[in-house]
C-alpha cells in the first residue's frame, strides 16, 4: 500500500493504538512530523491527544491554559477545517498538503488548516521532562547563528516582534540552511503560496495571547523565557534530521 492510500485508509485513533505515542505517530504520517491521517476522503480530521497531561508542563505552562488551548482553541480549528474542506479539492489532501496548496482566496481553510497543523506540531515540541539538545544539533545551530546564545536571542526577538497574534519558527530552508522566521495568525512556513520565508518547521512557538495570557498576562517575554524550559529537543532533532 502506498503512502497516499495509507493516509486515506488509516484513522488517527486507530493509528495511535498501533503506533504508540503522538511523536512516533506524527513521524509516520508526514515529513514535517504532524499527524496527517484520515479514514477516507469524506472523513474529518480529528483532534490529536496531548502526549502528556494538562498539568505536565507546570510551572512553565499552566494546566488551565493547556486545557483551554487544546480542548477549545485547537478543537475549534479542527471542526472549522472539516466544515470548510467538505466538497472541495482539499477534502482529499493530507494536512501537510493543505498547507502547501492553500492560497489567499482560501481564507477559512488557510486559517483553520494552519491552526490545526501548527498546534499539532506544537504539542509534540513540548516536553514535561527536561531535555537538552544533542551535540550534533547544537553544532548545527552554532554554525548557523554564531552561538547558541545568539540563536536564542534571535528566536526570542522574533517571538517578541510578532505584532498581535502569530508564531515564531526555526526552519530548515529549501537550501538546507537553518533560519528563524515569523508568521502572522495561523500561517506557517509550509504555506508556499503565502509566506516569504519558506521551509520545514522544526521548532515553533505560539505567541497568540490565548497561549500565555492566563499565567503571564501581557508579559510575553516572560512566557518566551518559560518556553525554553519545556522544549522537546529530541523531537526538534528528529525533525531536523528528516528535513
User: What residues form the annotated binding site?
Assistant: 69, 119, 206, 210
Phi, psi for 171 (deg, rounded to 5): -125, 160
Binding site per annotation, positions for Mn(2+):
69, 119, 206, 210
- Give 49's DSSP letter: P
Output the CA angle 111-34-82, nearest 5 degrees.
Answer: 45
How is residue 74 written as a grid cell? Answer: 485547537
Dist. CA 83–CA 112, nearest whole Å? 10
3-state SS, residue 214 = helix
**Nine-digit cell string for 146:** 554564531
Contact 33, 242 (CB under 8 A): yes
Q: What distance in Å separates the CA atoms of residue 201 and residue 183, rounded to the nearest whole number?
A: 12
- Compute the distance between CA of residue 81 and CA of residue 46 in angstroms, rounded to an integer: 10
Which residue(s) pair with 228 in the sheet?
none
Amino acid at each position: 500500500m502506498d503512502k497516499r492510500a495509507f493516509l486515506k485508509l488509516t484513522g488517527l485513533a486507530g493509528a495511535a493504538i498501533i503506533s504508540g505515542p503522538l511523536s512516533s505517530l506524527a513521524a509516520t504520517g508526514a515529513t514535517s512530523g504532524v499527524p496527517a491521517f484520515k479514514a477516507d476522503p469524506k472523513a474529518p480530521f480529528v483532534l490529536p491527544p496531548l502526549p502528556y497531561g494538562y498539568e505536565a508542563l507546570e510551572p512553565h505552562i499552566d494546566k488551565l491554559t493547556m486545557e483551554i488551548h487544546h480542548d477549545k482553541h485547537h478543537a475549534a480549528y479542527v471542526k472549522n477545517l472539516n466544515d470548510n474542506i467538505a466538497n472541495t479539492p482539499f477534502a482529499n489532501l493530507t494536512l501537510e498538503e493543505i498547507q502547501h496548496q492553500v492560497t489567499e482566496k482560501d481564507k477559512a481553510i488557510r486559517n483553520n488548516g494552519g491552526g490545526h497543523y501548527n498546534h499539532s506540531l506544537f504539542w509534540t515540541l513540548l516536553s514535561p521532562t527536561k531535555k537538552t539538545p544533542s551535540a550534533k544539533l547544537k553544532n548545527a545551530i552554532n554554525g548557523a547563528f554564531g552561538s547558541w546564545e545568539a540563536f536564542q536571542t534571535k528566536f526570542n526577538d522574533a517571538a517578541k516582534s510578532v505584532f498581535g497574534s502569530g508564531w515564531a519558527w526555526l526552519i530548515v530552508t529549501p537550501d538546507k540552511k537553518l533560519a528563524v522566521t515569523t508568521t502572522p495568525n495561523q500561517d506557517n512556513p509550509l504555506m508556499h503560496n503565502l509566506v516569504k520565508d519558506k521551509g520545514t518547521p522544526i521548532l515553533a512557538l505560539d505567541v497568540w495571547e490565548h497561549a500565555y495570557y492566563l499565567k503571564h498576562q501581557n508579559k510575553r517575554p516572560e512566557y518566551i523565557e518559560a518556553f525554553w524550559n519545556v522544549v522537546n529537543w529530541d523531537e526538534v532533532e528528529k525533525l531536523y534530521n528528516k528535513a
